């Protein structure tokens, strides 16, 4: 899918459900300088990274909420309105938590539903730009 390929081009983003062949793309965005694929693999597979998984989950939520705030406010990035995207709070458990015994050992992800008839590669490129802008804004607020 095109959206998956856009996410994969970003070193600070990772597709969180690469085996999904449906229309929804679930992905995670990380702070500047973080290798998303490496970090996500650690959070997903190594219980020693539980605290980082929880921190990254809060980051996904903050970025998702920033995007929603901007959407509701009619905020524009590069002259275009910020689109509405959602986030999932625990669409899967971490591999190290396969039995689900740790209620917080789940993965949060941002998600897009590129099913609108007006959707096209230009719109999807804009989504990536908006997510990165929201990421930067959240990082600045947290600094």
CATH of the domain at 26: 3.90.1150.10
Q: Is the pLDDT of residue 18 over 90?
A: no
Task: Of 4-18, 94-108, 114-128, give the lowest mean pLDDT range.
Answer: 114-128
Task: Report the domain count for the chain.
Answer: 1
Average pLDDT score over residue span 34-54: 98
Question: Which tops the pLDDT comparison, 90 or 129?
Answer: 129
Question: What's the domain range around 125?
Answer: 2-142
* Token representation of residue 127: 């989504």
Closest CA to 38 of 6, 11, 10, 7: 11
Average pLDDT for 38-56: 98
Predicted TM-score (pTM) of this structure? 0.94
The pLDDT of residue 91 is above 90:
no
């Amino acid at each position: 899918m095109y959206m998956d390929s856009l996410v994969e081009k970003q070193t600070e983003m990772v597709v969180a459900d690469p085996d999904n062949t449906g229309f929804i793309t679930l992905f995670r965005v990380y702070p500047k300088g973080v290798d998303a694929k490496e970090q996500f693999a650690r959070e997903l597979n190594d219980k020693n990274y539980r605290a980082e998984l929880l921190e990254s989950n809060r980051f996904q939520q903050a970025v998702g909420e920033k995007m929603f705030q901007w959407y509701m406010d009619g905020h524009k990035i590069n002259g275009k309105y910020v689109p509405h995207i959602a986030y999932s709070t625990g669409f899967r458990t971490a591999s190290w938590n396969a039995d689900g015994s740790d209620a917080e050992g789940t993965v949060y992800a941002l998600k897009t539903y590129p099913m609108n008839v007006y959707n096209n590669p230009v719109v999807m490129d804009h989504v990536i730009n908006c997510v990165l802008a929201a990421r930067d804004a959240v990082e600045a607020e947290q600094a």
